C-alpha cells in the first residue's frame, strides 16, 4: 500500500476542517441569531454605516447620531413600551459588503428597518436586496434624485430643495449671473448640474463653463485658471470629499476672494470647513437644509446632547441631522403601524412628521422623500455658517423636477403603481414608484 504523504494529508485535512468549520459553524451562528429574533420583547433596527475604510469618518458620525436618537427614544420608554435594539454592522466602505450585510440584517436578524448608507454607490448596491426581500431602508444623505424605490425612504435633500431657491437668490442678492460649474466626475455632480443649468436658463443667467475633476483630485490650478479666464463672477461647486478642501485652499491662494468670486455649493458642510481651515471657506456660500447654527430649541438641545455624548469638539452637519431625525420618524411609524414591512411602507412612514433640529419635517405621502427646510449659509471665520436666508416653509421634495422631467412623477398612492408593486418579486422586478404622466 502506498504511503500517505503527510504534507498532502495535512493540506487535505486542513481543507476538510475549513469546510467543516464553514459548513457546520455558519448554521449555528445564524441559528442563534434567529432565536434572538424570535424573542420579541425588543424592536430590532439595523444600522448600516461603515466604521472602517475610506468613508468611515463621515459614516461614523451618522452611526453616532442614530445611536443617540435610539438611546433617547429608549430612555423615554421606547416604542409602546418596547425598547429599540440596534443591530450594528460595519460594511467597511465596500459596496459588496454593504449588500451582504443588508441581506444578513433582513433575513437573519429580521430587523424591522435599516438606517443606513451614505454614498449613492452603497445605496444602489443595497437597493436590489431591499427590494427583493422587502426590507425598509431609511437613507439620510442628500442625493441626485431620479429614484423612487418602494423599499427606501429618503430623508436627505433632493436637488430641488437645495437649488430651486438658491439660484434666484444668487441673482437677486449677490447680483451675479455668470456661473462657472466645477464638480467631481460622478453621478451626483452631473445630475445636479443638469438642474442647475436649467435654473440658470430660467433666470437668464449665463453658463461660463462646466468642468469635472476626477474623484479625489487635489490639483486645481488649471481649473482656477479657466475660471479666471472665463469671466465668471461666481463658482457653483459640486466637488466632494478631499477635492473640496484642496479646491477652497488653492482658490484662496491664487488670489480670489470670496467678495470677488464667491463659491456657491450644495455640499460643503461644517465638516469640510473644519478640515480645510475655516479661513479658506470664510465668505463662501452653502445651501443646505440644516446648519449647526440653526436657531431652534430642538437644534440647541440636539447639539448639546451630541457633544455631551461624543465630545465637545464634534460638529454636527446636515446629513447627521437627517440620520438623527429619521430614527425618530421610524420610531413613530412603528408605533403607528407595527413592524410589518408593507404596513410600515404604506401606512406607518408616509406622512410621518417630526420636530427636527432644522424645523418640522414630514415624509411625503406620495413620493416617500422628505419635506425639508431650505437655508443659505455664509461661512464664517470659525467654520460655522451665518444663515443669511431661510425658506418661509418647508419645501416639498420632487425627485423628478418638472422643468427637466415633465412626463415623470413618483406616486405611491397611485392605484396602477400599487397594483404593480403588489405583484411578487418573481413576476415584477420593478419596485419603483415612478410612473409616466
Partner 1 sequence: MTINLAGGGSTPRKVRRARLIPIWALILGAFVLSLIGTSPHYIGSDSYVVGLIGKFLCFAIFALSIDLIWGFTGILSLGQAVYFGIGAYMVALSMKLNYTLENATRYGSNIPDFMEWNGLTEVPAFMAPLLSTPVAVALALAIPTLLAFIFGVITFKRHIYGVYCAVITLAEALILERFIVEYQAYTGGFNGITDYSNLRGAPFLWVIIAVTVVCLIGARALTHSRIGTVLKSIRDNDVRAEFMGYNVANYRIFVFCVSAFMAAGAGAMYAAWVGIVSFLDAGPMFSVEGVIWTAVGGRATLIGPFIGTFLVRGLEFVLSSSAWLSWLSEYWQFFMGALFIAVVLWIPDGIVGTIGNWLRKRGTGTLSQIRDDQDRLAHDRQRDWDPAGGTKPGKDPV
Contact 188, 162 (CB under 8 A): no
Give the span between the Cα atoms of 129 and 106, in whole angstroms: 9
Q: How far apart are CA 371 and CA 225, in angstroms?
A: 39
**Cβ(229)–Cβ(222) below 8 Å:** no
How far is Cα 422 from Cα 412, in angstroms, rounded to an integer?
Answer: 12
Q: Does 198 bind partner 1 (CB under 8 A)?
A: no
β-strand 375-379 against 385-390: which pairing, if any? antiparallel
Rounded to whole angstroms, how far apart are CA atoms 264 and 192? 13
Q: Are strands 234-238 and 206-213 parallel, antiparallel or unpaired?
A: unpaired
- Residue 37 binds to partner 1 (criterion: CB under 8 A): no
Q: Could you say whether residue 14 binds partner 1 (CB under 8 A)?
A: yes
> Closer to partner 1 at the Cβ: 278 or 435?
435
Residues linked to residue 179 through DSSP beta bridges, in sequence order: 207, 234
Closer residue to partner 1 (CB): 69 or 379: 69
Residue of 214, 209, 205, 212 whose CA lies nearest to 190? 212
Binding string, residues 44-63; x marks residues near partner 1 by CB under 8 A: -------xx---x---x---
Judged by CB under 8 A, the chain residues 304 through 323 that form the site for partner 1 are: none
Q: Minimum Å distance from CB 191 to partner 1? A: 6
Which three cell numbers mark 129? 436586496
Residue 406 in contact with partner 1, rule: CB under 8 A:
no
Name which of 30 and 169 has its Cβ closer to partner 1: 30
Q: What is the nearest approach in angstroms of partner 1 to the Cβ of residue 259?
A: 34
**What minimum distance in Å lies between the beta carbon of 196 and partner 1?**
15
Across 379-391, b (16+ Cβ under 10 Å) vs e yields bbeebbbebeebb
- Give the range of 168-176, 223-231, 285-293, 429-437 binding partner 1 by CB under 8 A: 429-437
Q: Could you tell me the smallest distance in angstroms from the CB atom of residue 395 to partner 1?
A: 23
Q: Among residues 327 and 358, whose Cβ is nearest to partner 1?
A: 327
DSSP state string for 149-162:
BTTEEE-SPPHHHH
Query: Minimum distance from CB of 11 to partner 1 (Å)?
Result: 4
Residues in contact with partner 1 by the rule CB under 8 A: 2-16, 18-20, 22-23, 26-27, 29-30, 51-52, 56, 60, 87-92, 94-97, 99-101, 103-104, 107-109, 119-121, 124-125, 127-128, 133, 146-148, 185-187, 190-191, 214-215, 408, 429-430, 432, 434, 436
Amino acid at each position: 500500500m502506498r504511503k500517505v504523504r503527510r504534507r498532502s494529508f495535512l493540506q487535505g485535512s486542513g481543507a476538510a476542517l475549513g469546510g467543516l468549520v464553514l459548513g457546520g459553524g455558519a448554521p449555528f451562528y445564524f441559528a442563534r441569531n434567529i432565536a434572538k429574533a424570535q424573542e420579541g420583547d425588543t424592536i430590532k433596527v439595523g444600522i448600516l454605516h461603515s466604521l472602517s475604510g475610506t468613508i468611515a469618518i463621515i459614516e461614523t458620525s451618522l452611526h453616532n447620531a442614530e445611536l443617540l436618537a435610539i438611546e433617547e427614544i429608549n430612555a423615554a420608554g421606547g416604542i409602546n413600551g418596547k425598547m429599540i435594539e440596534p443591530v450594528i454592522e460595519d460594511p467597511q466602505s465596500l459596496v459588496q459588503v454593504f449588500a451582504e450585510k443588508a441581506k444578513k440584517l433582513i433575513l437573519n436578524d429580521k430587523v424591522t428597518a435599516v438606517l443606513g448608507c451614505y454614498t449613492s454607490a452603497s445605496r444602489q448596491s443595497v437597493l436590489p436586496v431591499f427590494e427583493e426581500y422587502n426590507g425598509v431602508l431609511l437613507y439620510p444623505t442628500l442625493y441626485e434624485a431620479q429614484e423612487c424605490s418602494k423599499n427606501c425612504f429618503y430623508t436627505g435633500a433632493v436637488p430641488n430643495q437645495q437649488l430651486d431657491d438658491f439660484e434666484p437668490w444668487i441673482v437677486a442678492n449677490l447680483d451675479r449671473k455668470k456661473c462657472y460649474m466645477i464638480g467631481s466626475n460622478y453621478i451626483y455632480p452631473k445630475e445636479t448640474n443638469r438642474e442647475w443649468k436649467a435654473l440658470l436658463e430660467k433666470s437668464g443667467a449665463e453658463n461660463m463653463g462646466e468642468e469635472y475633476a476626477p474623484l479625489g483630485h487635489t490639483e486645481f490650478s488649471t481649473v482656477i485658471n479657466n475660471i479666471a479666464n472665463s469671466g465668471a463672477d461666481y463658482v457653483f461647486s459640486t466637488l466632494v470629499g478631499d477635492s473640496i478642501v484642496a479646491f477652497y485652499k488653492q482658490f484662496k491662494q491664487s488670489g480670489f476672494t470670496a467678495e470677488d468670486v464667491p463659491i456657491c455649493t450644495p455640499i460643503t458642510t461644517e465638516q469640510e470647513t473644519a478640515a480645510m481651515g475655516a479661513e479658506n471657506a470664510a465668505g463662501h456660500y452653502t445651501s443646505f437644509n440644516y446648519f449647526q447654527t440653526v436657531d431652534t430649541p430642538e437644534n440647541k438641545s440636539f447639539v448639546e446632547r451630541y457633544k455631551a455624548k461624543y465630545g465637545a469638539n464634534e460638529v454636527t452637519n446636515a446629513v447627521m441631522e437627517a440620520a438623527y431625525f429619521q430614527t425618530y420618524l421610524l420610531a413613530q411609524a412603528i408605533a403607528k403601524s407595527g413592524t410589518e414591512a408593507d404596513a410600515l411602507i404604506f401606512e406607518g412612514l408616509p406622512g410621518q412628521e417630526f420636530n427636527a433640529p432644522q424645523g418640522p419635517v414630514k415624509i411625503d405621502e406620495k413620493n416617500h422623500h422628505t419635506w425639508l427646510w431650505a437655508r443659505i449659509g455664509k461661512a464664517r471665520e470659525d467654520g460655522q455658517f451665518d444663515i443669511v436666508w431661510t425658506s418661509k416653509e418647508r419645501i416639498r421634495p420632487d425627485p423628478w423636477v418638472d422643468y427637466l422631467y415633465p412626463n415623470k412623477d413618483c406616486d405611491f398612492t397611485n392605484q396602477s403603481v400599487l397594483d404593480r408593486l403588489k405583484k411578487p418579486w418573481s413576476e415584477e422586478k420593478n419596485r419603483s414608484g415612478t410612473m409616466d404622466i
